[in-house]
Structure 1
């Protein structure tokens, strides 16, 4: 190996080492609060704020998890979030998938402007339309229902999902559909039998994005529901923040329970999420 080649490779290695160091630092920064929360969830309430801080609890206890799972509304809140999230995902995909396919395959006058307008709607701050939405919910007698949350969540997610899936559909060769039509398949049949199976990674990524958005939202969940039996998990967690202080042990235990569905979803669909976002980013 020549000296020039060695000089060229050395900066590349340093750059790669710097990238990995940055990724490790970012991962540690992100995981640090979770590890603290996990440790706190196993501590008795009297020792949570004790000094010096012990990362490994001196006395392990499951009382916080018992209180969260059996003596609180958290299980009901979790079920509510699962129901609203799944239905929102279904409604969002039902609207966004054919819309994204049409945007990717068909040409019509004003297409670019229409797509840009759709994207603009997702840029409107939620707080800006909160009062009109609240007024409509009360007037239409849908306040304090899952229905109003599902409609709002789906409406806010459809523009983003259309743009993500549009890029993914554009990455699928149109020759596949033409071959299907030659064999006698209709346009709809080619879409369902040929395109949708190939679009599973993109659809899976869109489903996860929508699910996480609904799961983490607090603004809509706290504004349009006041019944404790209909609260979502994001609102339920705030019951541990009282005027007399924060119940740290039970709060962190509830957070750990809340994170479990998200962790399972990401572990199961990690490849599909990365594949779908990569295709959408490269073509969108």
Structure 2
């Protein structure tokens, strides 16, 4: 009886096991699923690459057109059909921009205001971000949210009060008024970026320094700040680019032509008689050069700093 019961059961198990071996060995459904998944992955990557290529072309083509136009004589700028490669190269536009205009002075003004603003912003934002990352105190979350909220206020909403204060304090038409406003607008954003970066630095490093006899300030200056260089670099570039590209503050609080920033100086080529395209594009190319150099030099620090701030902030 026992043999009768166990025979078919064992045979069925053996048959099932034997039948499943070729299926697993052949890998028919598994192989088809793998091929299908691999095909979807390739399509997804192709779509990502096409999207990146389209976005890059959308951003680069206007710059290439501007570069091409800057080497064309003014008489051929609007000629049809459009030629991407100038038929007659000329450096007259660059000569006019660099030696017969105020663009070099505007560039110098922008460099001064941008660099000083970066320094002031970091001096204020670094201690605030470090305190927000390391210390616990009542109302911390609300205070940080309020700081972030101030950066969301549109600039045009506070333009009139700021203008009135600048006139009353007798700092209108000076570097100082632009530096103060730019720094005040950038501190909230930089505090949040650096807070995330400081949180990514292990607190044990500071504790080890304290054990070795360092003060809290000494551990911060000697141990934390050197490790925070990528974050500081990212914050510096963000602030520098913001000041370099801003037009609203630069055009509202400065009327002296000798104090104009480059963003305002470019508009001198937009006249009531038309646009001087050759000199305008040459001035734009000259203006872009410092930005390109900054991104090439600080690319790694910018990426690592923003990544740390995004993951922790």
The TM-score normalised by the length of structure 2 is 0.90
Structure 2 residue 278 is matched with structure 1 residue 253: no
Instruction: Write the distance in 1 (CA, Å) between the matches of 2:125 and 2:161.
Output: 24
Instruction: Write the distance in 1 (CA, Å) between the matches of 2:139 and 2:292.
Output: 42
| Superposed displacement of residue 139, structure 1 | 0.5
After TM superposition, list the pairs within 5 Å mapping 1:179-194 onto structure 2.
179-194=208-223
Instruction: Write the distance in 1 (CA, Å) between the matches of 2:263 and 2:61.
Output: 21
Structure 2 residue 51 is matched with structure 1 residue 22: yes
Structure 2 residue 203 is matched with structure 1 residue 174: yes
The equivalent residue for 1:133 is 162
| Superposed displacement of residue 3, structure 1 | 2.4
Query: Which ranges of structure 1 fall in alignment gaps of 5 or more residues?
Result: none
| Superposed displacement of residue 6, structure 1 | 1.6
Q: Which residue of 96, 99, 105 maps to 1:76?
A: 105
Instruction: Write the distance in 2 (CA, Å) between the matches of 1:58 and 1:169.
Output: 54
Query: Which ranges of structure 2 fall in alignment gaps of 5 or more residues?
Result: 1-26
State the number of aligned residues. 284
Instruction: Write the distance in 2 (CA, Å) between the matches of 1:180 and 1:9.
Output: 51
Structure 2 residue 282 is matched with structure 1 residue 283: no
Q: Which residue of 94, 119, 143 maps to 1:65?
A: 94
The equivalent residue for 1:242 is 271
| Superposed displacement of residue 36, structure 1 | 0.3
| Superposed displacement of residue 4, structure 1 | 2.0
| Superposed displacement of residue 7, structure 1 | 1.5
After TM superposition, list the pairs within 5 Å mapping 1:97-136 onto structure 2.
97-136=126-165
The equivalent residue for 1:274 is 303
* Secondary structure of 1:205 counterpart: helix
* 1:154-191 deviation line (CA, Å, top 9, x unaligned): 00000000000000000011010011101111100000
The equivalent residue for 1:163 is 192
| Superposed displacement of residue 5, structure 1 | 1.6
Instruction: Write the distance in 1 (CA, Å) between the matches of 2:42 and 2:82.
Output: 39
The equivalent residue for 2:119 is 90
The equivalent residue for 2:239 is 210
The equivalent residue for 2:20 is none
* Secondary structure of 1:124 counterpart: coil
| Superposed displacement of residue 16, structure 1 | 1.2
The TM-score normalised by the length of structure 1 is 0.99
Q: Which residue of 192, 209, 228 maps to 2:257?
A: 228
Higher relative contact order (CA 8 A, sep 6+): 1
Instruction: Write the distance in 1 (CA, Å) between the matches of 2:167 and 2:174.
Output: 11
